[in-house]
Amino acid sequence: MELFNHRETIGRNISTYIRLRGYSKSSFSKLTEISRPTLNQILSGDSPSPKTFEDQLNRITGVLDMPLDYFLTEPVIPLEKWRAPMIHHSDRAPDGERDNLAKELLNDLDDLMSIASLYL
């Protein structure tokens, strides 16, 4: 299988895996014994040669005890309860309507929560 042709997809999927498992790039680099610059090349899909790319991918999947083609498919990201959109209306709002300021503040809060979720 020519994994080098799929290096961008594999890089994105490894990056997602790192984030979902709570690794930093530095800790993942140490775990796999791949230098940080080389890991950055893999994650961005800029690996210089097919042989080097496949050697590094073998190292990553070997350390994680996964099949070599594991990162060809996107990981399934479970929808966590806190990420599910929830709308609650106040029992005290007249006729179920909120005033414009309340709507604006709640929309701003939703934006902040979306930004915070990127860092979790």
Residues 18-31 pLDDT 10s: 988 888 899 999 99
pTM of the model: 0.64
Instruction: Please tell me the total count of domains within the chain.
Output: 2
Write out the residue range of the structural domain in which residue 10 sits: 3-72
Query: Is pLDDT of 89 > 70?
Result: no
User: Residue 43's closest CA among 28, 33, 30?
Assistant: 28
Render pLDDT for 28-84 as a digit per residue (tens, 0 to 9): 999 999 999 999 999 999 888 899 999 999 999 999 999 999 999 988 776 666 555
User: Residue 14's closest CA among 50, 48, 55, 56?
Assistant: 56
**61 lies in the same domain as 99:** no
**97 lies in the same domain as 55:** no
**66 lies in the same domain as 106:** no
Q: Is 70 exposed, middle or buried (0-12, 13-18, 19+ CB in 10 A)?
A: middle
Q: Higher-confidence residue: 116 or 85?
A: 116
**21 lies in the same domain as 60:** yes
Which CATH number fits the domain that encloses residue 61? 1.10.260.40
